[in-house]
Amino acid sequence: AAGLYKNHDLAFASRVPSAPADKLTYGSTNVSFAPYGDAWRRSKKMAVVHLLSPRRADSFAPVRAAEAAALVAGVRRAAEAGEIVELRELLSAYSNAVVTRATTGAAGATAEKLKKLLGNSAAIMSGLQADDVLPDAAAKVVRWATGLEKRLDAELEQWDKFLSEIIAEHLEKKPDNGAGEESFLDVLLRLREEGAAGLELTNDRIKSLIK
């Protein structure tokens, strides 16, 4: 363990490259899939300081309270109607709703579309991938032959259209000067405008960071 984590720490600091993840995260530019290095360190620092700080977490208390109230109301209605309540599904929906509103501010039909896209991406990226056992060239042939490459292109196109629309909506909103609920997307757009992020926040990088 000492040899692994001390002497060869840098060799094991990055995830194993994944072509599907690389494509769906705009060249592995988010914190989860970016290779260890200066860009990853700056992205992580930005996330810790601006997105995941205690103050930012506290700012989403109204979101958590509203979604919890909706959860309780749903359970009450089901109980009054004598219906079976699947708590696991309800709690999962609660978590998804809170995270979706925190990251993009999306709710309702927009949140449902985001949930569907996340589910599709998870299904594509889960399980054993050709990249895990084959060289790059051979893995690409397998992805093409099995139709995975085409599915990845279609999935990325859907993600790109969806996130571009959300970013456009947020850019059109009138700034509230810090008053009110500010999603992760709002924070990233504000940091880009202020030039305070420490790295270039292009639209594609922002899309990758909020996925």
- The per-residue pLDDT for 177 is 46
Q: How far is CA 17 from CA 7, 33, 135, 205, in A?
A: 22, 8, 11, 18
Segment 24-38, tens digit of pLDDT: 999 988 888 888 888
Q: Domain locations in the chain?
A: 2-210
197 band by pLDDT with thresholds 50, 70 and 90? low
For 2-210, the fitting CATH number among 1.10.630.10, 1.10.357.10, 2.60.120.470, 3.30.565.10 is: 1.10.630.10
Angle between helices 109-125 and 87-103 (to 10 degrees): 100
Radius of gyration of the chain measured on its C-alpha atoms: 20
Structure tokens at 47: 């996330």
Q: Residue 24 in contact with residue 211, Cβ under 8 Å?
A: yes
Find the mean pLDDT for residues 189-196: 86
Structure tokens at 52: 């995941």
Question: Degrees (nearest 5) of the Cα angle 110, 112, 114?
Answer: 70
Segment 142-184, tens digit of pLDDT: 999 999 999 999 999 999 999 999 999 998 875 554 445 789 9
The predicted model scores a pTM of: 0.80
Segment 1-15, tens digit of pLDDT: 677 777 777 777 777
Segment 66-115, tens digit of pLDDT: 999 999 999 999 999 999 888 898 998 899 899 999 998 888 888 888 88
Segment 105-131, tens digit of pLDDT: 888 888 888 888 988 898 888 877 888
Contacts of 89 (CB under 8 A, 6+ apart): none
Structure tokens at 8: 């060869």
Residues belonging to the chain: 211
